[in-house]
């Protein structure tokens, strides 16, 4: 069975919390690693996600990182909260209506 690993970098502009990670993540860039396996017997390549993990600063070891398993939906929710936090701090301009 074939497997593949995808890596992407996500950014947080504000301190963030995420289910499955027991601490506040400081603003910054984080590597997310997703492992997928090929489902055989299909007429075209189809992959199923096996695991998703995020590399975060290790607790009590400032120069180390930990790879923690996360749910991609929790990551998406954390990114949405981070984006909303940025929008709420931007002043809005009201247009005059006649």
pLDDT at 96 (0 to 100): 52
**Which secondary structure element, helix H or strand E, spans residue 80, and what is its range?**
helix 72-88
Summarize pLDDT for 22-59 with one digit per residue, the tens. Answer: 889 999 999 999 999 999 888 888 999 999 999 998 88
pTM value?
0.78
**Dist. CA 8–CA 17, nearest whole Å:** 19
* Positive/negative CA dihedral, 91, 85, 55, 58: positive
* Residue-level pLDDT at 60: 82
pLDDT, tens digit, for every residue of 61-75? 878 999 999 999 999
- Which value, to the nearest 10 degrees, does the dihedral of the CA atoms of residues 21, 11, 34, 23 take? -10
């Amino acid at each position: 069975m074939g497997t593949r690993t995808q890596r992407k970098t996500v950014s947080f502009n504000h301190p963030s919390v995420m289910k499955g990670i027991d601490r506040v993540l400081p603003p910054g860039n984080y590597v997310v690693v997703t492992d997928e396996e090929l489902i055989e017997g299909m007429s075209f390549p189809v992959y199923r996600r096996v695991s998703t993990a995020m590399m975060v600063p290790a607790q009590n070891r400032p120069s180390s990182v930990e790879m923690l398993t996360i749910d991609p939906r929790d990551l998406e929710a954390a990114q949405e909260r981070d984006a909303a936090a940025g929008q709420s701090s931007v002043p809005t301009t009201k247009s005059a209506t006649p």
